[in-house]
Chain A
Amino acid sequence: MERETDPSRRDMLKAAGTLAAGCGALLLRVSPAEATPAAMQAAIRNVIGEAAVKPGKVTLDIPPLVENGNTVALTVTVDSPMTPASFVKAIHIFNEKNPQPNVIGIHLGPRAGKASVSTRIRLADSQKVIAIAELSDGSFWSDTVDVVVTLAACVEDLSP
């Protein structure tokens, strides 16, 4: 019995290994242009200027483990009274490893009543996603989440 099952298990492992290597090769092949953490920093500076960004006040609600990177639901909530004296002016979302570091830019005002926005995004790889909020007093706050993606977006190339 043991002898009969052993080779099949070995075969299975071998096949799994080959499959994993194939997937790896596929992932390596499909990265036409990739944003890097440096590109993300550059994009952030491009949008918010030289202002200092402090962690806090922002809650980025995104699943830590994503099965399908083609559509990832997220919610950003900012702790703000949303009064004419103190409100959230903008929320920007960036990523590290998609072909482009920008994801979405949102502009709000005191009329929003509540600084909470939901949308759906694409993620091409496991990576960090960062949400930065600009408040009416000129301060910037952020929240960063590490997301693991099992099926990446943008890999469904039609070329052979």
Chain B
Amino acid sequence: MSALINVPARAKRGEIITIKTLISHIMETGFRHGVTGDLIPRDIITSFVCRYNGEEIFRAELFPACAANPFITFNTVATESGTLTFTWSGDNGFAATETASIAVE
């Protein structure tokens, strides 16, 4: 799966960390016409969720107005060591999951 995640490997407890995510996806809007003049059907990622040790900390609903290869940056407080799980889902059964671990001292 072609996703890029940037999470600091270690952080101090209570520190605000910035998380950057990028996933490769065409994000076909469903408003363009193909060579035959037919509409190209929509194929986008509709939802992105980030969980920190199982608890949801960030969620986004995406629309065709999101650029191809959706890039999302957000923040969270480093509370404890553990795993961040990133899940994207979308049209045509698209689903991708990535994880990153963080050590909090």
Please give the residue numbers on chain A whose beta carbons come within 8 Å of chain B beta carbons, in ascending order: 32-33, 70-72, 75, 95, 98-100, 102-109, 111-123, 153-154, 156-160
Known contacts A70-B68, A120-B70, A121-B67; decide if A157 and B77 are in contact (CB<8 Å): no
Assess whether A99 is in contact with B75, with CB atoms less than 8 Å apart: no
Assess whether A122 is in contact with B74, with CB atoms less than 8 Å apart: no
Residues in B57-80 with C-beta less than 8 Å from chain A: 57-68, 70-77, 79
CA distance A106 to B63 in the complex (A): 11
How many A-B residue pairs have C-beta atoms within 8 angstroms? Tell me: 108
- Contact flags B12-43 to A (C-beta < 8 A → 1, else 0): 00001000000000000101111111001000
> Is B86 at the interface (CB under 8 A from chain A)?
no
CA distance A71 to B22 in the complex (A): 14
**Shortest CB distance A72–B (Å):** 7
Q: A122 touches which one: B29, B37, B52, B75 (CB < 8 A)?
A: B29
CA distance A121 to B31 in the complex (A): 15
* A116: B residues at CB distance < 8 A: 74-75
* A121: B residues at CB distance < 8 A: 65-67
CA distance A6 to B52 in the complex (A): 70
Nearest-CB residue, chain B, relative to A99: B31
CA distance A37 to B104 in the complex (A): 47
A-B contact pairs, 23 of them (CB 8 A): A32-B31, A32-B33, A71-B67, A95-B65, A98-B64, A98-B65, A99-B31, A102-B63, A104-B63, A106-B74, A107-B59, A112-B75, A114-B75, A115-B75, A117-B74, A118-B72, A119-B60, A120-B70, A122-B64, A122-B65, A154-B31, A158-B33, A159-B33
Nearest-CB residue, chain A, relative to B31: A99
Assess whether A112 is in contact with B58, with CB atoms less than 8 Å apart: yes
CA distance A102 to B36 in the complex (A): 28
* A95: B residues at CB distance < 8 A: 65
Q: B60 touches which one: A75, A104, A114, A156 (CB < 8 A)?
A: A104
Assess whether B66 is in contact with A72, with CB atoms less than 8 Å apart: no
Nearest-CB residue, chain B, relative to A157: B33
